[in-house]
């Protein structure tokens, strides 16, 4: 894993967006993936600006969403699909060749999982996977204890994830499951960018970066990826 430490969130976002653009520019057809959540927000905005300014051509690039809360659709506040629609897709002046958004409200969620796998099988492997890290080290919804040999799956949310979900949306009913690309698909990506911002991520980032590779800290698996860049602000990088 290569480490880039930035002075703050803004610099991290700018550099990550530049890396995404650079990665898209090197090949013909591409399949890229972004997460939802707080961390990638400004990176996505920077990326959109570069696309709209003509700095990068995404007409041969497909997009696939990383993960979603089972029970939330793209109209639901705080869903990953809503994040992608509002901040990315609807702001692009020039569209992606194609995209796949996960419908966490699908009547048949197993069918949705199969379709996510099919999209990645058809157009993948991923050229680029941009990731955030959860407080328990999750990647997407690959929660602690996940099978590293998994493709897209539906997984019970960890207690840690349930505790932090309140920052994304208010729900009377607690959500119990996530649907996510699997570790196998993330590890097959030609390039991985792991973003981390804020002091609250410092401990888990250090574990992922230099602790043992274990499914108790899913992000530690990235130590085995030969083209993974960790981009963090100084607060998140504090314990590295």
Q: Among all chains, which residue has been given the structure tokens 């690959």?
A: 142
Active site residue 117: no
CA 6, distance to chain mean position in Å, is: 19
CB of 90 to ligand GLP, least distance (A): 20
> Of the listed 42, 46, 67, 68, which one is catalytic?
67
Nearer to ligand GLP, 8 or 29 (CB): 8
Q: Does 67 contact ligand GLP by CB under 6 A?
A: yes
Active site residue 8: no
H helices of the chain, in order, are: 9-25, 41-52, 80-87, 109-123, 159-164, 183-187, 202-210
Look at residues 64, 16, 1, 57 and name the one whose alpha carbon lies nearest to residue 36.
Answer: 64
Active site residue 200: no
Enter the tokens of residue 157: 């949310």
Query: Beta-carbon neighbour count of residue 57 at 10 Å?
Result: 11
Tell me if 41 sits within 8 A of 91, measured CB to CB.
no
Binding mask 12-51 for ligand GLP (x = CB under 6 A): -----------------------xxxxx------------
Piece of the chain touching ligand GLP by CB under 6 A; list 119-127, 132-140, 146-154, 210-218: 132-140
> Of the listed 68, 87, 103, 136, which one is catalytic?
136
Enter the tokens of residue 136: 């328990």
Instruction: Please report, as ranges, the residues that interact with ligand GLP according to CB under 6 A.
Output: 35-39, 66-67, 132, 134, 140-141, 161
Annotated active-site positions, please? Answer: 67, 136, 138, 143
């Amino acid at each position: 894993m290569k480490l880039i430490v930035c002075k703050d969130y803004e610099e991290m976002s700018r550099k990550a967006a530049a890396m995404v653009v650079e990665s898209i520019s090197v090949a013909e057809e591409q399949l890229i993936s972004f997460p939802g959540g707080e961390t990638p927000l400004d990176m996505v905005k920077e990326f959109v600006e570069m696309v709209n300014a003509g700095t990068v051509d995404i007409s041969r690039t497909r997009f696939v969403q990383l993960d979603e809360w089972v029970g939330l659709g793209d109209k639901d506040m705080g869903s990953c699909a809503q994040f992608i629609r509002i901040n990315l897709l609807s702001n692009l002046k020039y569209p992606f060749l194609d995209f796949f958004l996960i419908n966490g409200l699908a009547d048949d969620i197993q069918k949705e999982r199969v379709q996510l796998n099919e999209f990645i099988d058809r157009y993948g492997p991923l050229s680029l996977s941009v990731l955030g890290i959860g407080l328990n080290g999750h990647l997407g919804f690959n929660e602690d204890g996940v099978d590293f040999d998994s493709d897209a799956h539906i997984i019970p949310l960890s207690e840690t994830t349930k505790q932090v979900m309140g920052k994304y949306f208010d729900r009377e009913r607690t959500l119990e499951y996530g649907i996510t690309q699997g570790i196998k698909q993330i590890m097959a990506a030609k390039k991985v960018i792991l973003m981390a911002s804020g002091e609250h991520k410092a401990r888990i980032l250090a574990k992922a970066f230099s602790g043992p590779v274990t499914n108790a800290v899913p992000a530690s698996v990235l130590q085995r990826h030969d083209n993974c860049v960790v981009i963090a602000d100084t607060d998140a990088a504090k314990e590295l």
